[in-house]
Amino acid sequence: MSEDALTPRLLLLDGHSLAYRAYYALPVDNFSTATGQATNAVFGFTSMLINMLRDEKPTHIVVAFDVSRISFRTEIYPEYKAGRSETPKPFLGQVSLIKEVLEALRIPVVEKAGYEADDVIATLATQARAAGMEVIISTGDRDAFQLAEEHVTILYPVRGVSEVWRMTPEAIEAKYFVPPSRYRDKAALVGEASDNLPGVPGVGDKTAAKWISEYGGLDGIVANADKIKGKAGDNLRAHLSAVLLNYQTNKLVCDLELPLRPEDVKWHGWDREAVHQVFDALEFRVLRERLYSYLEAVEPEAEAGFDISAAVLGAGAVAGWLDKHALGSPVGVAVTGTFGRGTGTLTGIAVATGDGPAAWFDPAALDEADEQAVARWLADPDRPKVVHDAKPALLAMRAHGWRLEGVRVDTALAAYLAKPDQRAYDLVDLALRYLKRELRVEEHDNEQLTIDGLGDQGAAEENLMLRARATLDLADVLTEELSRDESTSPDSPVGQGASQTLLTEVEQPLSRVLAEMEHLGIAADTQYLSELEAHFAAEVKAAQQAAHEVVGREFNLGSPKQLQEILFNERGLPKTKRIKSGYTTDADALQSLFAQTGDPLLAHLLRHRDVAKLKSTVDGLLKSVSDDGRIHTTFNQTVAATGRLSSTDPNLQNIPIRTEEGRRIRRAFVVGEGFEQLMTADYSQIEMRIMAHLSGDDALIAAFNSAFDFHAATASSVFHVPVEEVVPDQRRKIKAMNYGLAYGLSAFGLSNQLNIPTDEAKGLMEEYFGRFGGVREYLQAVVRRAVQDGYTATILGRRRYLPDLSSDNRQRREMAERMALNAPIQGSAADIIKVAMLRVDAAIKEEGLRSRMLLQVHDELVFDVAPGEREVLEALVRREMGGAHPLSVPLEVSVGSGRDWNGADH
């Protein structure tokens, strides 16, 4: 049946109501962007919306919002909703983000000054029923129950963002003992605490329903109030004026003049590009995948498919195809298989040319001549290839015995440089975004092109060939986009087309180095890890028992509800931040509470959380040890928008280092068999050195060029004392300043960090900037330039686009300004360590050393040192890291060595 033949279905959502439900259902600490923007309400609202679009399949949709807390109801009753707490700060700004999501989804928003979203919904529901529409209303406000009828259903969220009651007239009567037409009467009698509408004391739903049934409704109850016996009757008569006020206040307005009618809000699907932009900014990768899985974007989302003349090649046919089609022009390459743990297995390879021919073959089914031909072609740097995310292919081909050379463009890395704030670089999505094409064979004259050798069973092979062709076409578009930009820093040595140069001279070569590091992995002492796991398990149990002894009984240390009862009621500790379920018991709150009170229970709770986290880390490492006794992490180049590498499966950049117990975990990473020791090398205060270089501040540069400790030298300038007389507290304060400046540190933030009054922090900052005026001027200029250009750039010209710099949302604008401060510093540090890795790798090979680079952790590199190579390797590493990029202050490199990672610290 066509859509037009179906009964139209209007979905009406109460925006503020659902947003608040989502905010309190999801912990704000678990939902925020890299810039600190809280997103729990946006995430929860969007999640609920996607579920409703999927399950209810509305033909029409609109979201209503309150304009403010002031409405005609507050004129009737000034105390209306007065009991509600102040809007939580993390919630502020999230409604405007929700509206951005709705705009991307092409869902209209309606508001009416002086009225509530309930009234907008009631008006549209009334109009929709008159037009013969079916109506679904989603709200957490029970006043909407009075709208329910045969073709109007209320979706009422009750737990989290996924459990919803479907409130039909029958369901409402079963729960509240009155039909929807009498729900307003019942609510007037029992009251509504959330709206600060007190009911008749002692009168609940059952009593109210009994009276309504007996007297025919509220009018009958009022008329017969004197006849109602007992305490309930006395209370009714005493509170009759409040009941009538409740009834007047609870009335929904059904005849508002609105800018649109139900027939105007037909939903035609969402805007794919707009969704990308909004979801990228919000970092909603999971929700985007759900959206794509459940719903179709607005058509047409793709202008065409791909024209290919394709074939599945059997044994003996591959060499000839490569000689005929893959000589001089670039060829798209795509692979399938299993990848991870520094290796991989190939199950299929597809190649595609620009003029149409494409082919697929099974690497395991090649004859000897084909095997040799493929090996020669892959290893020939003069036979250009284009690959999407080449690193897994490099590892899988290596495991097969092949080398992949001549990769001209890695389209995943190119797309990352073009849009570094994106959270996914899926080829299907990129083809739609840049090429306006779907991964399908184009149809001509109603006949789809046939693919030789596929028959009816070639979907996987066809898809891989289409991926190879899409990769090839995408490379041209992305190369053109990257070539448009020019170097944004006169200091940059790369000249014009900085992004293109970053791709070809840094990111793509680095992927090969990272593949080698992933393949090598790092040796792990599994026996020691097992002992450490047992130790932390015992510590977890000991902390739990100690907590039980303080309280005098057993309880669940992981239960916020039980902790709230014990901490705030039984032990009478000061209340923490108010949350929906009471008062927060997160780690920061407990740490602050412990600092205030010194309560021994808090010490045990914090200890329990610390050792439980350490145990979890050790558990994860044990599971990650491969059969070769080594841990092979995966390095990600396209995750951090600043250019920094990340590490997953396991995350070796998250191994603790600040505490002695955390450093014990590092002892499990040991020198490999046949090697002498581990060596670590890292940059000392690289971000502050970059700050000194970019700001050109003479005093800061002088501090680095002095023979003294940098933080002591800067403290000496600020406090006007000889550097030898700087006390630890002075150094601590200036160190916080030094590291906080590039992150937009405020006086309030500094006061919290140092636990000093805000006025003192403000004075300290003024004194600092008075001494280092060039730093202040640089930070101000960075933001001004970013607002003007729409992006920031690193020393090597890596761009980060910041559209929120011009946002009307103050929180988002301020966060974008902090990002503008940080991106050039942190991004330049990322650029420099990447260049250093390339230089070190090349120098090791050039000098023929057996030593090898194993890990990169932010500013630190870790090596296996071959016997007899310690001194030459250290000299090489110091030279290449120190010379990675010319700065006005030296790039100081610290080096250490030992039998394990912790012992190699310096």
Within a domain: 792: yes
Number of domains in the chain: 4
Looking at residue 769, its pLDDT comes to 85
Inter-CA distances, 523 with 666, 673, 849, Å = 11, 8, 19
Give the pLDDT score at 265: 92
pLDDT at 771: 85
Going by pLDDT thresholds of 50, 70 and 90, the confidence category of residue 757 is: confident
Q: What phi, psi does 177 have (nearest 5°)?
A: 70, 10
Return the top range by mean pLDDT from 22-26, 85-89, 891-895.
Answer: 891-895
Q: Is the pLDDT of residue 74 over 70?
A: no
User: In whole angstroms, what is the distance from residue 781 CA to residue 766 CA?
Assistant: 18
339 has a pLDDT exceeding 80: yes
- Cis peptide before 300, with omega less than 30 degrees from 0? yes
- Res 832: pLDDT: 97
Element (H, E) at 662: helix 660-666
What residue numbers bound the domain in which 737 lies? 687-822
Q: Has residue 204 been placed in a domain?
A: no
Q: How far apart are the C-alpha atoms of 377 and 575, rounded to whole Å?
A: 69
| Structure tokens that stand for 896 in this block | 């250490």
Judgement on whether residues 306 and 451 belong to the same structural domain of the protein: yes
The pLDDT of residue 493: 40
Output phi, psi for 197, to 5 deg. -110, 100
Q: Does some domain include residue 427?
A: yes
Q: What percentage of the chain has pLDDT greater than the value 70? A: 91
Sequence-ordered list of residues with C-beta below 8 angstroms from that of 42, at least 6 positions apart, any chain = 19, 22, 94, 97, 98, 101, 282
Residue-wise pLDDT for 167-185, tens only, equals 999 999 899 898 998 988 8
Q: Which of 704-708, 742-746, 773-777 has the highest mean pLDDT?
A: 773-777
Judgement on whether residues 268 and 333 belong to the same structural domain of the protein: no
Residue in 748, 734, 744, 684 with CA at minimum distance from that of residue 892: 684
The pLDDT of residue 302: 57
Give the model's confidence band at 7: pLDDT under 50 very low, under 70 low, under 90 confident, else very high.
Answer: confident
Domain assignment present for 638: no
- Using one digit for the tens of pLDDT, what is the confidence trace for 221-236? 888 888 888 888 888 8
**Does residue 495 carry a pLDDT above 60?**
no
The CATH number of the domain holding residue 706 is: 1.10.150.20
Look at residue 577 in the predicted model and tell me its pLDDT: 77
Q: Quick check: is 425 in a domain?
A: yes
Domain boundary among 469, 484, 499: 484
Confidence at residue 78, expressed as pLDDT on a 0 to 100 scale: 66
Residue 620: band (very low, low, confident or very high) from pLDDT cuts 50, 70, 90:
very high
For range 519-531, the mean pLDDT: 97
For range 648-657, the mean pLDDT:
87
Asked which of 822, 854, 874 is the last residue of a domain, the reply is 822
Q: What is the pLDDT of residue 196?
A: 63
Tell which of 822, 852, 871 closes a domain. 822
Share of the chain above pLDDT 90, in %: 47
Residues 265 and 311 occupy one common structural domain: no
Question: pLDDT class for 621, splitting at 50, 70, 90?
Answer: very high
112 and 57 assigned to the same domain: yes
Residues 616 and 700 in one domain: no
pLDDT at site 650: 92
* Residue 335, domain CATH: 3.30.420.10
The pLDDT of residue 270 is above 60: yes
- Say whether both 448 and 536 belong to one domain: no
Both 476 and 601 in a single domain? no
What is the model's pLDDT at position 813?
81
The pLDDT-based confidence of 84 (bands split at 50, 70, 90) is low
CATH number at residue 624: 1.20.1060.10
* pLDDT above 80: residue 31: yes
Tell me the CATH number at 58.
Answer: 3.40.50.1010
* 268, 331: one domain: no
- Minimum mean pLDDT range among 8-12, 50-54, 603-607, 611-615: 50-54
**With contact defined as beta carbons under 8 Å apart, do 622 and 526 qualify?**
yes
List for the chain the helix, strand, coil content (%; round to 5). 55, 15, 30
**695 and 613 part of one domain:** no
The pLDDT of residue 457 is above 50? no
Specify the pLDDT at position 444: 44
Lowest mean pLDDT among 29-43, 148-162, 599-613: 29-43
Average pLDDT value for residue range 757-768 = 86
Altogether, the residues listed in the chain come to a count of 906
Q: 177, 205 in Cβ contact below 8 A?
A: yes
pLDDT of 619 > 90? The answer is yes
**117-133 tens-digit pLDDT:** 899 999 999 999 999 99
Is 878 inside any structural domain?
no
pLDDT score for 471: 95
729: pLDDT strictly greater than 60:
yes
Please indicate, yes or no, if residue 153 is contained in any of the structural domains.
Answer: yes
Mean residue pLDDT across the chain: 86
* Same domain as 457, residue 529: no
| pTM: predicted TM-score of the whole model, two decimal places | 0.75
Establish if 186 belongs to a structural domain: no
Residue 449 and residue 533 in one domain: no
pLDDT of residue 486: 60
* Residue in 858, 891, 887 with CA at minimum distance from that of residue 877: 891
- pLDDT confidence band for 3 (50 / 70 / 90): very low
| Model pLDDT for residues 439-450, shown as the tens digit of each residue | 776 554 433 344
Query: What span, in angstroms and rounded, lies between the C-alpha atoms of 595 and 891?
Result: 39
Which range is least confidently modeled, 494-503, 697-706, 715-724? 494-503
571 with 718, same domain: the answer is no
